[in-house]
Structure 1
C-alpha cells in the first residue's frame, strides 16, 4: 500500500514505476538503497528537462556530483529529499560513488548543443546512463565481474526503449534524443520531430527492430540476489517489440507487462 512505503520508495514509485516494480524483487535489506538509486537516477534524468538552458542542466549535474563528494568526505547531507538518503546509502557503503559519478557524467550528452550526433554516440550515452544505473544496481545486489558487463548491456537496451517510446513526450519538452545520422536517413532534423513527432515513426521502428534483436540475444544471468538489476530487460523487450511493429507503448503498464516481470523475477531467468 502507498502509505506503507518509505518516502524514498514512494518517490521511486511515482517517478520511475518500471524500475520500482523491478526493485521489488531485490533482497529486502537492499531494497531501500535500490529505491534511492532509482531516485538519484531520476534526478539526473530530469536535469536537462527542468533546466531552461544546457548550462543550467550542467550545473544541476554538478550539484549532484558535489552532493556525492560531500558524502564521501563525511560532510553533512544536503537538504533535499533524494540527497539525504543518497548520503546515507553512500555512508553505509551500499552504493559506489564512482559509479554514481559516472552516471552523472553520462548525462552531459543530453546538454550538448545540436543533439546526439550519431548512433554510436547514442550507444555510448546509453551505456553510461541507463547502463550505468544497471551496473550500480548490480554492484549493490552482489553482481561482479562479467555479470556487470552483461547488466550494462541490458540496461542500455532498456534505455534505448525508453528514448524510443518517449519521442512524443520529449518533443513536448522541446527535445529530441534520436541520433542525427538516423534522422538524416529520412531527411529529418530534430526540429521537425519536435514539431511533429509522428514523422519519426519509421526511424523509431527501425531502431526498435535493431534493439529488439540485441535484447533477445542478451541473457544477463546475474546472481539470484541481483535479478532485480536485470529485470528492466523484460520490459525493454516487450516495448521494443511494440515499437518495431509501429505501435505505441501504453503510458501505464498493463497486467501483461507486470506479470512478465513477476514471472522472470520469481523464476530468476531473464
Structure 2
C-alpha cells in the first residue's frame, strides 16, 4: 500500500477538496493512490496559472513529461514527493502511460489567450484533460478494464467538471487577459471587453452556455453509468456530481468576478452520499 506523508494528504485536501472528500467512499487501499493522482493533476493543471509567461508554463509541463517518462522507463525518480508518490501509484496499479501523456499535452493547449474556437474544441480538451484523469481514477478505484460505457462516463464527467473549473476561475483568467470559453460563445464581444472586469452580456451568455454544457454532460454520463457497473470505484468520480450545483449557483451571481461560490461541508457531504448511494452524477 502506498504511503503518503501527512503533508501530502493535507495538500490534496487544500487543492482538490471535493475530489479528496469523495475518496472516503473508496476502498482504503485505493485512497492514497487516488490522492497521489489528484496532486499530480493539480501540478499540471495549474502550470499556466502560477507563472506570468507561457514559456515558463511549458517548462513546468515538460518537467512532468520527462518525470512520467522516467517512471515508465524504470529510471530513478526525481526527488519530488509528488513524483515519488505518482511512481508508486503507477507501479502498484499498472496504469497505462497514454493517459498521462494525453493529460499533459491537453494542459499545454491553455497557453494561448483564447485557445478554443468552438465548443467541440473545448469539449475535446476537457476529455483529454479531466476525462483522462477519470479513466485513471477508475482504474485506481478497482475497475478491471474500461468498458465503452465507462469510457463514455469518464469523458462526460471530465467535460462537466473541467467546464465548471473554467467558470470558477473566471476572475483569475480574466485578470490575465485569458478566456477559455470558446470564441464562438462570445461572438458579440472581443477578448479585451470580456476581460475588462464588468460582466458583459456576452460573457454572461457564454457562462450560461457553459452551464448548459455541464448539465448535458452530466446527463450523458448518467446514461452511460446505467450501462456500467462501478461498485466501489464510483467514489473516484463521485465528486463530479457537485458540478451541477456549483454551476447553477455561479450563473445566478450578479458579479462572478467578485463573489465565490461556496457550499458548506455538510451540504457537500450530503450531496456526495446521495450520489454514491445512487451511483449517479
Compute the TM-score of the two structures, normalised by the length of structure 2: 0.85
Shift in alpha-carbon separation, 1:195–1:81, aligned structure 2, 3 A: farther
Q: Please, which of 230, 235, 239 is the counterpart of residue 223 of structure 1?
A: 230
Equivalence for 1:198: 199
Distance 1:235 1:103 in 2: 22
Distance in 1 between residues matched to 2:126 and 2:103, nearest whole Å: 10
1:234 counterpart (231, 241, 245): 241
Which whole-Å CA distance do the structure 2 matches of 1:150 and 1:157 have between them? Answer: 11
**Cα separation, 1, equivalents of 2:270 and 2:239:** 13
The secondary structure found in structure 1 opposite 2:115 is coil
Q: Could you tell me how far 1:19 is from its partner in structure 2? A: 1.2
**Residue in 2 aligned with 1:116?**
116
For 2:140 and 2:99, the matched residues in 1 are separated by 11
CA distance in 2, matches of 1:94, 1:266: 29
Partner of 1:253: 263
2:117–2:182 CA contact under 8 A, matched in 1: yes
| Counterpart selection for 1:151 from 149, 154, 158 | 154
Q: Closer, same or farther in 2 for the Cα pair 1:268/1:150, shift >3 Å? A: closer
Which structure is higher in RCO with an 8 Å CA cutoff and minimum separation 6?
Answer: 2
Deviations 1:168-196 (A, max 9, x none): 23223443211111111xx2123322221
- Show structure 2 runs of 5+ residues with no match: none
- Asked if the contact 1:222/1:230 (under 8 Å) is kept, the reply is no
Q: 1:22, 1:228 within 8 Å by CA — same for their partners in 2?
A: yes
Secondary structure of the structure 1 residue equivalent to 2:204: helix
Structure 1 window deviating more from structure 2 (229-238 vs 39-48): it is 229-238
Between Structure 1 and Structure 2, how many residues are aligned? 265
Query: Residue in 1 aligned with 2:103?
Result: 103
Q: Tell me how far 1:257 sits from its aligned partner.
A: 2.7
The 1-side partners of 2:90 and 2:212 are apart by 39
Per the normalisation by structure 1, the TM-score is 0.88
Q: How does 1:131-170 map to 2 (within 5 A)?
A: 131-143=131-143, 144-146=146-148, 147-170=150-173
Residue 67 of structure 1 contacts residue 78 of structure 1 at CA under 8 Å; is this kept in 2? yes
Whole-angstrom distance in 2 between the partners of 1:197 and 1:23: 38
Q: What residue ranges of structure 1 are gaps of 5+ in the alignment? A: none
